[in-house]
């Protein structure tokens, strides 16, 4: 059983990689986003980027920096299938998952303007923002000295495999296939 984690910048293609791995390589998907949405809905709050970041930070502060990823890892291990955990955002999550063995971290990045155009097309509840807000959100999540908060830049540095998604779907799929062959 292989566990792949995905980290990367906002709108870079994490979901596209997940979709490709699940439909073409048989991976089972576990989403930090979906986990957080369940928690937020259970608390009767509005789901948006701010509530997701706040809820994730609170859960990590209360239970440890790797809490959410380890919750999803437990579910993944019970499935017995090759799995992908989407949206790894803290160094603690990377370290905890790496320590379990058979874990590989993928990172994906894309030029910021391309990513912004893509999120507008995606149109989820966290995507309907101005370019300025999009950029501010990303800057807030890129670095932190608090181990319970998002630190995408450090997570991306720790990745085993890096993907650049400035081209077509097929360009990205070829990058993924070449990595999967080596795993």
State pLDDT tens for residues 87-110: 999 999 999 999 988 999 999 999
Percent with pLDDT over 90 in the chain: 77
Q: Which two tokens stand for residue 101?
A: 């063995």
**Residue-level pLDDT at 169:** 94
Instruction: Domain ranges for the chain, please list them.
Output: 3-178
Q: Which two tokens stand for residue 51?
A: 């509530």
pLDDT score of 158 more than 80: yes
Where residue 146 falls among pLDDT bands split at 50, 70, 90? confident
CB atoms within 10 A of CB 146: 12
Q: What angle do CA 112, 122, 150 make, to 5 degrees?
A: 55
pLDDT score of 119 more than 90: no
* Residue-wise pLDDT tens digits, 14-68: 999 999 999 999 999 999 999 999 999 999 999 988 899 899 999 999 999 999 9
Q: What angle do CA 13, 26, 68 make, to 5 degrees?
A: 60
**Residue-level pLDDT at 140:** 86
pTM: 0.90
pLDDT score of 125 more than 70: no
Residue written as token pair 């995507």: 127
CA dihedral 106, 21, 74, 103 (to 10 degrees): -40
CATH number of 3-178: 3.40.50.300
Q: Which of 25-34, 73-82, 138-147, 163-172 has the lowest mean pLDDT?
A: 138-147
DSSP state of 181: H
Task: Give the pLDDT mean for 115-119.
Answer: 90
User: How is 79-148 classified by DSSP, letter by letter?
Assistant: H-S-EEEE----HHHHHHHHHTSSEEEEEEE--HHHHHHHHHHH--TTT---HHHHHHHHHHHH--SSTT
CA dihedral 89, 92, 93, 96 (to 10 degrees): 160
């Amino acid at each position: 059983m292989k566990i792949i984690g995905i980290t990367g910048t906002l709108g870079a293609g994490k979901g596209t990689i997940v979709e490709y791995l699940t439909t073409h390589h048989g991976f089972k998907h576990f989403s930090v986003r979906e986990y957080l949405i369940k928690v937020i809905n259970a608390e009767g709050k509005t789901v948006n980027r701010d509530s997701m970041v706040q809820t994730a930070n609170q859960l990590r502060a209360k239970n440890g920096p790797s809490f959410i990823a380890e919750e999803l890892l437990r579910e993944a291990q019970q499935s017995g299938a090759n799995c992908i955990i989407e949206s790894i955002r803290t160094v603690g999550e990377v370290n905890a998952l790496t320590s379990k063995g058979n874990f590989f971290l993928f990172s994906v990045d894309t030029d910021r303007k391309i990513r912004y155009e893509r999120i507008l097309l995606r149109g989820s509840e966290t995507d309907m923002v101005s370019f300025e807000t999009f950029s501010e959100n990303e800057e807030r999540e890129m670095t932190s000295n608090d181990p319970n908060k998002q630190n995408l830049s450090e997570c991306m540095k720790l990745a085993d495999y890096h993907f650049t998604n400035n081209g077509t779907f097929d360009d990205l799929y070829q990058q993924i296939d070449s990595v999967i062959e080596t795993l």
